[in-house]
Every structure is written in C-alpha cells, then in structure tokens.
Chain A
Amino acid sequence: MRCRGQRHPVGSAGEPHASERAPAESMAENREPRGAIEAELDPVEYTLRKRLPHRLPRRPNDIYVNMKTDFKAQLARCQKLLDGGSRGHNACAEIYIHGLGLAINRAINIALQLQAGSFGSLQVAANTSTVELVDELEPETDSREPLTRIRNNSAIHIRVFRVTPK
C-alpha cells in the first residue's frame, strides 16, 4: 500500500491523539534530528512552534497511542474494547491502534501483547502511512514574516480483529 504523501493533505492527518484525558501529542511525534531545522534557521530570528497534527473525528474503536499515558493503561483500554462490557456486550470485533512517530513502537507492542494474550483469537494487520506535520516559525523580529514548514512523520495503523479459533 502506498503511503499518503505530501499530496494528500486532509486525509493524511492521522495523528495519534492521546487518549482524551491527556491529549499530549507533541511528544510522540518528530524524532527527526531537530538540529537540522535549527541549523538552517537562526534561533535569534525565529522561534519554532510545533502545531498539533491535523485532528480527525474518531470512532469508538480507534485508539491513538501516546507516550505519556501508562503503557498498561493503554493496553487495558484496548483489551476492554475488545472484551466489551461485563457480559461481553458492546464488544468490538475489531479495533484500530494508531501510533505516530515515537509511539509506533508502543503501538506495535500493544497490538502484539493483545494478540499474545488472546490464545489465538486475535489477529493483527498493520498498515503504515506518512503524516504531515506543520511547524510554525514565529519571527522574533518585526521585519520577518512567519513561516510554516511541513515535516513528514511515519505512522502505523494496526487493525486488531477477532477470528474464530479453529
């Protein structure tokens, strides 16, 4: 599958949001060498402000993984979605785990943990994509225009779904 590239602005923004409680996305993204940007730009003239990734409406079975929430809590959240309520109703047949940047690792980890703990009833299918992130460069002096730059970051989207065990 092709990645969503620069030409696809709206749909491309599958930024892993944190859970609603702690929407702190910034830490998960952008592990590109930060020095690269700052080498080009004089920090005296510009301040780098990272903007939030484009946010998308989410279904109940979308889980955006972040690096701030406890790993166990995120795993439990996924497990709960798959298991459903007390008597198994509202259980999702499939969930989507999204991870961006640094959180890719963790997303994979969560998906594999889920699979390992399911005794073969869960399968995973992963997709990758590229997310465009916007960096704003705020001028420090009056004579300069604010700039925006686009930076790409990888994201992973793992579909975890139930299969009937043989």
Chain B
Amino acid sequence: MRPQLAHSADAVEAFGSTETSESLAEMSNAKERKHAKKMRNQPTNVTLASGFRAERGGKHHFGAGRPFQSQKQELHSGTSQQWQNKMSPHLLPESDGNEQSSSKIMFKKKGGWKAGPEGTSQEIPKYITASTFAQARAAEISAMLKAVAQKSSNSLVFQTLPRHMRRRAMSHNVKRLPRRLQELAKKEAEKAAHQKKELSKNKCHKARRCHINRTLEFNRRQKKNIWLETHIWHAKRFHMVKRWGYCLGERPTSKSHRACYRAMTNLCLLQDLSYYCCLELMGKEEEILKALSQMCSTDTGLTFAAVHCLSGKRQGSLVLYRANKYPREALGPVTFIWKPKKTPGDTSEDRQLWIWLHPTLKLAVLEEMKTVCQCSEPASSSVSVPDPLPTPDQEESQPELADDNIGKKRKRKDDAEGAKRTKRTLGDGTRDPCQPRSWVSLPTGIVISDLTMEMNRFRLIGPLSHCILTSALRAAPLHTGEEDAEETPHPWWSDTCKGSDGVVLHQRQEAVFQLLGGVSSPAEIPAGTILGLTVRDPRTNLPPQRSRALPHPEIHQASEFSCEEGMCTGSWSCALWKPLSDHTDDPDNEQVRQLLLEGVPVECAHSFIWSRDICRSVTESKISDQDLNRMRSELLVPGSQLVLGPHESKIPVLLIQQPGKVTGEDRLGWGSGWDVLLPKGWGMAFWIPFIYRGARVGGLKETMVHSQYRRSPNIPGDFPDCLAGVLFAEDQAKDLLESYKRRPPAKRPNYVKLGTLAPFCCPWEQLTQDWESRVQAQEASPITSVPGAQDNARQLAVPCVPEETCQSNEADMSENHPTEPEVTGCQAQAGAEMVLEHSASENHAAAASHQLCVLRSRKLLKQLSAWCGPSSEAGRAPCSGQPELTRKAYLSILDDFPRALVWVSLSLLRKGSPEPRAMICVPSKEDLLQLSQDPCYHGPRESRHSDPFKSLILKEKEKKKMEKRQSREHAASTGLAAGVPTAEQEARIRGLWSGPLPGLTSHCSRVLLGFVTQGDFSMAVGCGEALGFVSVAGLLEMLSSQPAATRGLVLLRPPGSLQYRFARIAIEV
C-alpha cells in the first residue's frame, strides 16, 4: 500500500505538468482528461492539482476494502510509476534527487492526509533542504500572485463592484471608489485620459457649467420646443419626447408601469399638465353664453350655461363643435371654469371664463371662438383699461419680469437675446409668436386672450392626494396691522388682510382645506369642485427627507377615539362600535359631511389667481431657490424652520377636483384627484414638496393608462372626428409604417395574408361608408324584418363590393383577390403610404355633405347602452324606460346619423389581450352556438388569405432588373435610369395592401364593425380590456340580429393574428 500511495502522489505531480498527452492516452478517463485540459495553460512551475488529488486520495481511502477498487489502484499506480519515470526529469529539470524527494514528500503529505486516518503508514521525510524547498515554493507563490493580479475581464475597476457599492460619477472621481481600488482606478483613468479625444478648448468644463452660459444653452435648446418649468427635473428621470411644441416626459426611465398603476389606485400619482392651454374669455355673461352656445349642443349634456358651473362652483366639461355644425365637425373636448360672481372688491358685470384644452386642439378652437365672438382685432391698450390686458408692450415686459424671477434658466445679459426670449417665455409652440395674445370684439365686448403657459397645472391622482395636498400646502398667515407699515413685497396680500371680508373668506377657505385631510378619497367630493386658496411658500416647510404623507387617523379622529375602551384604537372602522353620543357634538364631522354633500361653498371657490396683476406680482416677488437656501444655511439652528415673516411669498392657487371614472358600474371613482393651478414661475417650488410627500410622477404614458382605465377617450388620439385626431392618426401611422419597413419582409407580419387591410390606422371614413351602403341595400331588399333572413340580406347588401361576400370561403378569397389588385394596383403606385394619406385627405375634403361623426347625444347613447345589455327584455326594459330595439327605432337613428361612430368599451370574455387597432367583428351564429356549448372555446380563426402582391412585387423586381441591364447596355443616360426605379421602389411594400382598400367590412370571414383604439391587459379588472369605436349602423344591425341572451357579444382580432376572441361590448353613459 505504501508504494502505491507514493506513486499516486507522483502521478499527481506528473499530471500537473504541461505534458500530459501521453498519460491521457493511457488513462482513457474522461474526467481526468478534462482536468488535464484545464491545467494545460497553467504556468509550468505551479501544479495546483488539488481537486484531482483529493479525488484520488478519496479513491484510495474509500476503495481500500473493495477488491475491484484496489485492482484499479494497482493499475493506476502501475501506470503512474511509468509516468513518473518519464515525467519527473521534465518537471524539475534542474533539481537533483533530494529536491525531488522533498517535493514528493510534500505532496505525499498533502495528498496523504486523507489516507492518514485510515491508519496506513505515512512516511515522514528524514530531512528537507530548506533553501531549495523555499525556492520552489517562492516560485509557486510568485506565479500565483501574478495570476491573481492579472485582470482577466475587460471591464474597468468600478464596473466590477457589486451594485450596492457603486456610486454616482465613479468613473470621474476616483475617490468615490473604496480605498483599496483607488490605485487601480487611478491607473485606469490615466490610461483612459490618453485615449480620450481633446475637448474643445474654447470653454473649459467650468465655463460651460457657468450659470449664464448654461442659461444661454438652455434657451437655445428650448427655442423650438418649449420646456415646462419642471423640464430639467423630468429630463433627468424620463424619456423625453418632443410633441405638440413642447418637450414632455413620456415615461419614466425606471421600470414603473405597475408602480404607477398602484400609485393611481392606492397612493398618489403626480403629473405636470402645464402644457395644457388656457383660453380666457371676458365680457358680459349673456354675450359669452350667446356666442358659445353655437359651439356646443345641449344634446351632449351640460353646456357652459349649467347653473352650478356658471356660479363658479364647479368645473364643467364638454365637447366643442364648429359653430352650428353639431353633430359634425367636432373641435375637441374642453374643460372650463367660470370665475365666481361675487368676489370682494369686484363690482363689474364682466365675467371671466377659462377654457382648458389640449394643445393640439387650441388652434382650431381659438379660431372658431374668434369668429363666434366676432373678435377679429388684436386688443390694443385702449381697450384694456379696466383690466390690464397684455398689450404688445406689456407682453414684452411681462416675460422679462417673469424671467428674472424664474431666474435660474432665463436670466439674460444682452438685449439681442430679448426678442428670442420673449418668444420663448410666452411659451406656446402651437402659435406664431409674433401674433398678439388677446383679441377684442367691438360689438360684443368680449375679450379673448390666450393664457398658455401663464399658469402651471399639476395633477394629483389617487386617494393619497388629499394627504399630500394638506401636508404640502399651508394657508398663508394673515398680515397683522403693524407689519403693514413696513415695506412688504406683497401689497396685494396686505390689502386683502385689511378688509374683513377678505380675512373671513381666507379663514373659511383654510377651514375647508383642512377638512379635506379627513376625507380619504377625492372621489367622495362632488365632481369638479373648485377650491381657491392662498398658501405659504411650500419650500419653507419642506421635509428634510422624502417620505410618504399618510392619513392621520389620530388627528382627524382623535376626539372619537379618546373615549374608546381598549382594543379598537387606530382604525376608523372601529368607530362603529361605540355609542353614537360620542360623535354628535363633534363639529368636524358635521362639516365634513356638509363638504361631502354640498361640495365647497361658492365663495370659497374664489382665488386671486384669476387676477393677472396679482399673479404677475407673485411671480416677480418669488425668492429664488438660491437665496432661500442661503437663508436656510444661515439659520442659527441648522435644520430648523425658516421664518421669513412678512417677506414670505403668498401664492394664490386653485384646486379643482377631477372626477375619476363616473360612468359604468364598476370601479366608480377610480382615478379621481385634484388639479392644482399655480402662477407661472412657481412650478418647481411646488413640484418638489409634492414629491417629498410621496407622490410618484408619471408621464404621457401614464396619462394614457389613466384614461384607458377610466374608459374615457384619450386626447387627441380618440377623437377621429376632430382635425387633431386625424392628424394624430396620420402621424402614428407614419411612425408605425417606418418601424414596419425597418424589418426585413420575412421577419414582419404579412398583413395581406393576415387579412388586415389597415394595420397602422383605422379607416373610419371608409368603414362608415361601407356600413351606410350596406344598410341602404338592406332597406331596398324586401326581406328585412325576419331575423333569419338577415344573413342573406347581408350578402346582398354590398353593392360597392359586389365580388366579395362575407361568408366566402378560402377558395373564394383566393380567387377574388388576385383579380382586384390588377385592376387597381397599376394605377395606384403610391402604395400603402398613399392609402393612409388617401383616407386622411378624404377626411379633410369630404367636409361638406356626409361626414363622419361621433355619436355624443346622451339620449341616444343611453338608448344604445340599454340595447347593448345582454339581459332579457323583461328585466331591462321597465328599469331603464327605453324603447324596445325594433327595426323602426334603429332606422330612425340611422336616418339622423348615417355615418356615425360610437365609443364603446369591450371586456374580453375569456382569453386574450387586445391591442390597439384590433378589429371588432360581428360573430356568426355558429360562433355563438359553439361558445355556448364549449366552455373552452376561445373563438374562431380567420383563414389565411393569399397575397396577390407578392408575385407582382417579384415581377416588378424582375422588370426593374431587366431595365437596369438594358439601361446599362445603353449606357447613355445612366443617371436618368437610376432615378426612376427608386421612385417605384417606394410603391409597394411587401406585406401591406397596396392600392385603395377593397370593401372593408366584408374582407374577412367575419363582418367588420369597428376598431380598437386603446387596448391592453387591464390590471384593474384582471382581464383584457379594450376601448374603441364601432359603426352605429353596424352595431344596431348586429344587435337586432342577435338573440337577447347573447346580445352584445363581438369578436376581437388583433392586426397581427388570425385568432378571434370573444368580448362583450358596453356603452357607458
């Protein structure tokens, strides 16, 4: 046993050496071969075969008792002896016998410790030559050190640190690294510095970061697209997009889709909506109402004249139309607020109306409003004597003043910059800056002014918005008498405080505002409630750290719980458990109750933000962040509250409640919140305090999600009857087409084969036309009222597309399609882009007679909504008081709205998550039958269509090649020949329908009803949800042909799929 052991140790030693090919051949052990391979690249004098050695040692150890193992060992040892003889001179060429033995012994010792306990004898060396032993070890150690010091990866030092140890700007500042790595990093940095290209020498880094230079640079950058006041904050955290003349944050760079949804549902989401435009109308109430009544209709609900809105108590919302053009030619949705009638110190008859709207709608609305109010001429200074309106002169001065106070970005030095800056601060990308900002009408006396970017608008969504508001905003302290003597920067406020009316009003507003803290959700307050307030500078009571403002049950409920015995403290729900007598004398409860029922009293809706002078002075008198921070640093007790006394700014704000989801049955009040209006210049001063109270910030994407979960149309995408909506759709289609073309044809869906005619846009115009002609044809046919015959009627009812029938099978399809493009395709060389433009231009052009419109009449919507319901007539009809769905009833609707669309929401029955531009189709009878029979049935499949264009494209390519060859042969006019084919190349795109679209509705096996505009998996409901438009004619026909039990079931099919899914349609009013 002893020699074996020694041999094995030798063998190990031999193995560690680089030459192992021979031993490999002998061993035929895969594991060992692998090991040898691993060790091949080791330095020759380091033989770290520990793992292998241990294994061998283990073998010796465990295999001792077993005969076959020992045999193996013998074999092994035998071979190893041979290797040793061969290898050892190679391994240590310069060593003599002694050395060899010593190293052998060492290994034996190491390898043998496993064998030791077994009791086998272990040879202890008689002597070791210290010098040679140490030499050998030293060589090994140095090799090891060298291997360790060598960095194998290609990364920099700071990149190898674990994530939690990384710090910002580590690559620039060596000292941010842990000290042990600083040496290495310094070396690396030096190396990198050589490789870096020279920076421009005209300005060093410090000079570039200098305030003035930065300001100039920032000003230059926002020339084209205006920055909001929170731009720099957003730019650090958001993906920014240039849209509508502004730079807006699209979505956070962090992964936060679900977090933002949670913030909307349970916490608070903050959005900067300062890009929304505000139009102001001033004049006599009757005049304004008379003028504006042409632009809206009482059919669609409340108008500008609604009593509660007119008093200034609530915010109203409506859809504007071109004057007297209802129901066609919509301009877009707006919200509006009237200034309350009776305000202290205001005796004039003039009313003030603010209309808030999306920037895309502004141009059209402003134009229309000017014509309606007959405001043609720009306001001159003579007109604006009673209320100082911005004349061109003032316009110049106003932004300057504002700039100096907004300060950080817009300070300027030279006058040459002045003109540009004026343009910028006026802050409106949708309008020519040279144009005046207000217009006056001589006959009516109405003054329209454009207040875009004059105010900030922040939106807080979610139940915690009350807590955030009440903790971030504090009502301004009143000025006492003696302070008035000294110079205050806020004369308007001391004036207000002198009058007792103003003081009382302020105190009432403050009281109401404090009550809000006790209301746990904004949805409990009447929709559109307006509350005016004058607040302190929110920067003074900024918490030292970001935290989450939470409701304080003990504050609002302290009186109730004081007498509670024992267990149930801390939750309001336990207030239920104690006698009523405790609560009755609590004045707070009575007030909260009043607030919930009645809303905020009219007087409290007043705010000084309505007065432009005061706003301007507030903007001017803002203490800059720098000064404030300096004052804070000079405080005697660091971290204590900064007391500015009378110099503290007082900011008038306006809080507007935004109702969440009000329609429908479920999730009522979801997404409700508050809008905060601030004078300009104060954006960041309020933004940071809100965030420090735990608000999460969302961008444009979150706006989309918000509107989708509220099931409300998104502006401007979901207004196909507005010009803005059409333009938006065009832009979107162009973008989608671009990204489609970037992929190779084999790696993108072939929409022709999928039967998707318009994958990038929704051709509403053509859809409604098709349905109109279908219905007309049906009326013409004699068999109508029998429901069974309607399928036949449907087949007949396609005069514009005679070839195709809705129930055509694949054979029909394949036969039909090749014929059509040959007719059309030759003339239409413009391709799919043309198609998109075609439909859009149709929208522009066909303004005159039959134009597409969206059904917004509340009466009809209610009727449709009742008809869409799946329940039997017995339950539904008496409840809603709606007429039965009869042929007569629906034809009468169609007479009024032959080409109408209606906004519907769809929730998927079983599987599937819808996408934007998915097709809404009518299920066939068999589908419904199968659905009722098979619980696992998810929907029919569209059969694959044939692609007639593929061969055409190939042919064209061939032709082009031929031409090219010919032209090359001619070789005379090469330039001309090269120009032509490139133009033609644009004509057809593989996988898209080229030429004008054939009959939309009957292109696929199921009849097309409409398109989805927003659709996704809904986290709120837990299944797929979609929103979109369907043709009214189609919807009515579908409903009348469906049996009552399954009424309202439709099929959805995404543009990139053949699979239909069942969904239930609903119209929410």
Chain B residues with Cβ under 8 A from A59's Cβ? 570-571, 573
A145 touches B307 (CB 8 A): yes
B308 touches A145 (CB 8 A): yes
A52 touches B577 (CB 8 A): no
Which positions 512-567 of chain B face chain A at CB distance < 8 Å?
A: 518-521, 523-524, 526-527, 551, 553, 556-557, 560, 567
Chain B residues with Cβ under 8 A from A43's Cβ? 881
Whether, in the assembled complex, A136 has its beta carbon less than 8 Å from a beta carbon of chain B, the answer is yes
Least CB separation from B314: chain A residue: A146
A8 touches B668 (CB 8 A): no
Q: Closest approach, in angstroms, between the C-beta of A67 and any C-beta of chain B? A: 11
Q: Closest approach, in angstroms, between the C-beta of A93 and any C-beta of chain B? A: 10
Which positions 112-157 of chain B face chain A at CB distance < 8 Å?
A: none
Chain B residues with Cβ under 8 A from A14's Cβ? 572-573, 575-576
CA distance A129 to B576 in the complex (A): 7
Contact status of A52 and B665, CB under 8 A, knowing A20-B266, A141-B298, A145-B308: no
A50 touches B668 (CB 8 A): yes
Chain A residues with Cβ under 8 A from B184's Cβ? none
Which positions 1-55 of chain A face chain B at CB distance < 8 Å?
A: 1-5, 7-12, 14, 20-27, 34, 43, 47, 49-52, 54-55
Whether, in the assembled complex, A148 has its beta carbon less than 8 Å from a beta carbon of chain B, the answer is yes
CA distance A56 to B557 in the complex (A): 11
Contact status of A143 and B307, CB under 8 A, knowing A8-B583, A55-B521: yes
Chain B residues with Cβ under 8 A from A142's Cβ? 298, 302-303, 305-307
Chain B residues with Cβ under 8 A from A51's Cβ? 523-524, 668-669
Query: Which of A24, A96, A141, A146 touches B573 (beta carbons < 8 Å)?
Result: A96
| Binary CB contact string for chain A from 91 to 103 against chain B (1 if under 8 A, 0 otherwise) | 0001010100000
Chain B residues with Cβ under 8 A from A62's Cβ? 571, 573
Contact status of A148 and B526, CB under 8 A, knowing A7-B584, A157-B577: yes
A136 touches B553 (CB 8 A): no
Whether, in the assembled complex, B488 has its beta carbon less than 8 Å from a beta carbon of chain A, the answer is no
Least CB separation from B584: chain A residue: A7
Contact status of A21 and B576, CB under 8 A, knowing A51-B523, A141-B298, A144-B307: no
Tell me which of B585-593, B823-831, B921-929 binds A: B585-593
Q: Closest approach, in angstroms, between the C-beta of B521 and any C-beta of chain A? A: 5
CA distance A20 to B1022 in the complex (A): 12
B518 touches A10 (CB 8 A): yes
A52 touches B524 (CB 8 A): yes
A26 touches B665 (CB 8 A): yes
Whether, in the assembled complex, B503 has its beta carbon less than 8 Å from a beta carbon of chain A, the answer is no
Which positions 154-199 of chain B face chain A at CB distance < 8 Å?
A: none
Contact status of A134 and B597, CB under 8 A, knowing A26-B668, A56-B572, A57-B553: yes
Q: Closest approach, in angstroms, between the C-beta of B396 and any C-beta of chain A? A: 41
Which positions 124-150 of chain A face chain B at CB distance < 8 Å?
A: 127, 129, 134, 136, 139-146, 148, 150
Number of B residues near A (Cβ < 8 Å) is: 59
Instruction: Kindly state the interface size class of chain A when it binds its partner.
Output: 35 or more
Whether, in the assembled complex, B763 has its beta carbon less than 8 Å from a beta carbon of chain A, the answer is no
B571 touches A10 (CB 8 A): no
Least CB separation from A6: chain B residue: B593
Q: Closest approach, in angstroms, between the C-beta of B691 and any C-beta of chain A? A: 23
Which positions 106-137 of chain A face chain B at CB distance < 8 Å?
A: 127, 129, 134, 136
Whether, in the assembled complex, A58 has its beta carbon less than 8 Å from a beta carbon of chain B, the answer is yes
Interface centre among A3, A4, A27 (most CB of B within 10 A): A4
Query: Which of A4, A94, A150 touches B576 (beta carbons < 8 Å)?
Result: A4
B666 touches A24 (CB 8 A): yes
CA distance A12 to B553 in the complex (A): 15
Whether, in the assembled complex, B639 has its beta carbon less than 8 Å from a beta carbon of chain A, the answer is no
CA distance A137 to B580 in the complex (A): 29
B580 touches A2 (CB 8 A): yes
A146 touches B526 (CB 8 A): yes
Contact status of A134 and B596, CB under 8 A, knowing A52-B523, A144-B307: yes
Whether, in the assembled complex, B883 has its beta carbon less than 8 Å from a beta carbon of chain A, the answer is no
The 9 closest A-B pairs by CB, nearest first: A9-B593, A11-B575, A56-B572, A10-B589, A59-B571, A55-B520, A8-B583, A142-B305, A24-B666
Can you offer 28 A-B residue contacts whose CB atoms are under 8 A?
A1-B577, A2-B580, A4-B576, A4-B580, A7-B584, A9-B592, A10-B572, A10-B593, A12-B576, A14-B576, A22-B1022, A25-B668, A26-B666, A27-B666, A43-B881, A52-B668, A56-B520, A56-B573, A56-B575, A136-B527, A139-B306, A140-B302, A140-B858, A142-B303, A142-B306, A145-B307, A148-B597, A157-B576
Residues of A within 8 A of B (CB): 1-5, 7-12, 14, 20-27, 34, 43, 47, 49-52, 54-59, 62, 68, 94, 96, 98, 127, 129, 134, 136, 139-146, 148, 150, 155, 157
